[in-house]
Amino acid sequence: MMRDRLNRILPKSLTGQVLMALAVALLLAQAISAALLYQAKDKYREEQLIHELALKATIALRHRDEPPPMMGEGPMRQGPDLGEGPRGPRPEMMAGFQTLPVDQPCEEYTHRLTQILAGQDIGAARVLVVERPIAADPLWSHRIAKRYGVMGNHGPPRPTSVLVGAVQMTAGGPWLVVRTSVPPNDPWLLVTLILQTLLIYAVLVGTMALILRRIARPLAALTHRVDHFAQTREAKGQITPEGPEDVRRLIVAHNALEERITALINEKDVMLGAIGHDLKTPLAALRVRIECVDDDAERDKMAKTIEDIVRSLDDILSLARVGRPSDPVEPTELSALVASIVEEYEDMGDDVVLDHMPRLVMPSRATWLRRALRNLIGNALRYSGSAAVTMERVAEEGRDWALICVSDCGKGIPEGEIERMFQPFTRGEPSRNLATGGAGLGLTLARAIAEQHGGRLELANRIEQGVVSGLDAKLWLPLPA
């Protein structure tokens, strides 16, 4: 079920599938790249914040024994400090440091700040780093309100939290408190990634589309040529090799193959014509000579044998020529064609019933269709003694079909033997008696004729009340749109 849904969704052409695979691969690569970029950017921001805290703490601790600066200048002020440095409030020294209820402990920052201070030969009894909303910090809330009250919404993005680092040099001693704002995520990063992805898609997918078009165009022409050759078996109108070297070699090889197949078919036609002439001539002579036989019963047997041989020979020659019919394709009214065939059997006294049929017209080779229908009706009469013929218009696979059904009341065919019945010289009657079983070419020829017209032939047992009540031979012929 899932595979069927995917087959309906996925593109069918080579170009579409390759472009879709490329698009999915690019999307996956860009997703991985974006994840790594976000991770690297977060890591860089973390390192930047912790180093800024460490720098402020190191400078303040190294100058803590100097006299207080005058007029609020200098790195640090004893007691509450409302002054501001270039990147935020200056460090302050306080007797005790208490976290707020809204503070979020940052263990990784605490560990990194301890390491950096130790690397600067600054031993600390306790180190604590927390993150708090910027509105809850008394110094930063005053500074942010002052700055953005002047700039409004035209300045850089407003930070929403602040990183607070507290360092206690000795147990029970004062705390040095430093702060730095946590910058918000870059709102343009996602836009940059999207624009980058679109640019990569435009370059790579566009280039790949041009390359695939150069490959797919000769392949599409080759496919059309193969379909045409399958229907006509004619080597005229071969396509010119173009495209990449591999595709050109494929076209050259196919053209050579067509010429070889055409030559073989022509040789076969010549051979079949010779066989038909060489065999039918002595058979006609035999038919004249048996008239000299005095025994009427023996003469009739000999005449029937010659007729069976001629009929089998006609079937073999027709089956061999069905791939290259010489008859032109002409509009044919199927209802009139079927009715005329049924009338022939009725005139001979056979039990053939024709049901009401709609008027359907399709381009066909009427002579071949007659041959196919005669084979099907003849089989029904041979194995059940009667036949019922119906025709209807059926919509299937997005188009209209003419469905001609020939039904009998025989014993049917075992399910495992139905497909084998289409093989040449296979008969439902096990004996080799031509009067009861035929030559075994009727169904083979009928299916070949159906396929020649773009249709198909199906055999199905008719089940009534759980019992096989006969066999239905269904001839499907496509109607013009």
Side chain identity at 239, as an amino acid letter?
Answer: I
Q: Residue 420 half-sphere exposure, CB side, CA atoms within 13 Å? A: 8
Boundary (domain end) residue, out of 185, 218, 237: 185
**CATH number for the domain that contains residue 450:** 3.30.565.10
Cα–Cα distances in angstroms (integers) from residue 335 to residues 175, 319, 360, in the given order: 106, 25, 6
Residues 6+ positions from 285 with CB-CB distance below 8 Å: none
For the chain, the first-to-last Cα distance in angstroms comes to 31
Give the residue numbers spanning the domain of 105. Answer: 32-65+77-185
Specify the pLDDT at position 154.
52
Residues 6+ positions from 438 with CB-CB distance below 8 Å: 378, 379, 382, 427, 429
**Residue 446 neighbours by CB distance under 10 Å:** 24
Residue 424 lies in a domain: yes
- Host H or E run for residue 85: strand 84-85
Residue 333 lies in a domain: yes
Angle at which helix 206-232 crosses helix 14-62, to 10 degrees, equals 160
Tokens of 440: 């075994």
Residue 198 lies in a domain: no
Residues 6+ positions from 338 with CB-CB distance below 8 Å: 354, 357, 373, 389, 391, 404
Residues 6+ positions from 9 with CB-CB distance below 8 Å: none
Considering the entire predicted model, what is its pTM? 0.49
Residue 196 lies in a domain: no
233-270 pLDDT, tens per residue? Answer: 777 888 889 888 888 999 999 999 988 988 887 787 77
Boundary (domain end) residue, out of 185, 206, 241: 185
Residue 290 lies in a domain: no
Q: How many domains does the chain have?
A: 2
Phi/psi at 465 (nearest 5 deg)? 55, 40
E strand segments, 301-447:
330-333, 351-354, 361-364, 386-396, 399-407
Boundary (domain end) residue, out of 185, 211, 228: 185
Residue 195 lies in a domain: no
Residue ranges in the chain modelled with pLDDT below 50? 70-86, 149-152, 431-437
Q: What angle do CA 16, 22, 23 make, to 5 degrees?
A: 85
Specify the pLDDT at position 431.
43
Residues 6+ positions from 449 with CB-CB distance below 8 Å: 322, 368, 369, 371, 372
Residue 308 lies in a domain: no
Residues in the chain: 481
Burial (CB count within 10 angstroms: exposed 0-12, middle 13-18, buried 19+), residue 51: middle
Cβ contact 408:384 at 8 Å: yes
Specify the pLDDT at position 428.
61
Question: How far is Cα 373 from Cα 453, in angstroms, rounded to an integer?
Answer: 14
Residue 245 lies in a domain: no
Cβ contact 395:361 at 8 Å: no
